[in-house]
Amino acid sequence: MVDPIKKLKAAGLGRFQVMALLQAARYHIFYGDLDKAKSFGLNRAIFYAWAKYHGPHTQRWRAARLEVLLRKPAKEKKGRCPEGYTDVLGECIQVGGRGFYKIGDQEQTPRDYDLQVTYKLKRLIDPEKAWDAALDYVKQFPKWVLKDPQRFYKLVYEPVRDIFLAELLEDKKPQPPPWIIEKLLALEEMYKKTKTTSLDEFM
């Protein structure tokens, strides 16, 4: 039997597609616009691929302990983005003339997403199945996690970045690691005992 990881690699599928897929699902959960969700997903996948090699400042929070990311206070971010950018789920992103997100002069369109994600998935995996699995997976996390780019990266994306597509290829349903869900539930329970506001509203 061929190793699913090797099959995915041979088909040009990997972390980039997982990031784009999960980021698109994340956006769709909050805003419900599929075309813009595709634009956002591809935009963030390109950005983080670039930042991995050219943005050493991102390594600080990537290496941060989980407890630090979970307990860091919420910050008011409105108005902090420079002209031409908009705050989307905690990050400043450029917006093009057609309303799609962009990096530099290049807009990331739904068609671009399909070329780099959907059509590549078709080589091995039903794209609709992958999309439904991404939505089901991301919905299992509380919104205060999904709203924060650092928490999203560490808690949602990072644990499944190398197995999400492999599990789909084996007809499995990707799930968050139980220890992460247990930690989040414990944190919410602890917060309820000391505050009247929910974590979703607070964060």
- pLDDT digit string, tens, across residues 159-195: 999 999 999 999 999 999 999 999 888 888 887 776 5
Q: Which amino acid is at 43?
A: N
pLDDT for residue 124 is more than 90: yes
Top pLDDT among 97 and 72 is at 97
Assigned token pair, 203: 């964060």
Rounded CA-CA distance 158/3 in Å is 21
Candidate from 27-31, 35-39, 41-45, 103-107 with smallest mean pLDDT: 103-107
In the block, residue with structure tokens 């909050």: 30
Amino acid (1-letter code) at residue 155: L
Instruction: Classify residue 189 as exposed, middle or buried by CB count within 10 Å of its CB (0-12, 13-18, 19+).
Output: exposed
Mean pLDDT (whole number) for 112-121:
97
82 Cβ contact list (under 8 Å, min separation 6): 92
Note the pLDDT of residue 112: 98
Q: Do 38 and 106 contact (CB within 8 A), yes or no?
A: no
Q: Is the distance from CB of 100 to CB of 108 less than 8 angstroms?
A: yes
Burial state string for 91-127 with b = 16 or more CB within 10 A and e = fewer than 16: bebbbbeeebbbbeeebbbbebbbebbbebbeebbee
Higher pLDDT, 1 or 83: 83
**3-state SS track over 9-59:** HHCCCCHHHHHHHHHHHHHHHHHCCHHHHHHHHHHHHHHHHHHHHHCHHHH
Euclidean distance between CA atoms 188 and 199, whole angstroms: 6
Q: How many domains does the chain have?
A: 1
Query: 180 with 159: CB under 8 angstroms?
Result: yes
Segments forming the whole domain that contains residue 128? 4-202
Mean pLDDT of the chain: 86
pLDDT at 57 over 60: no
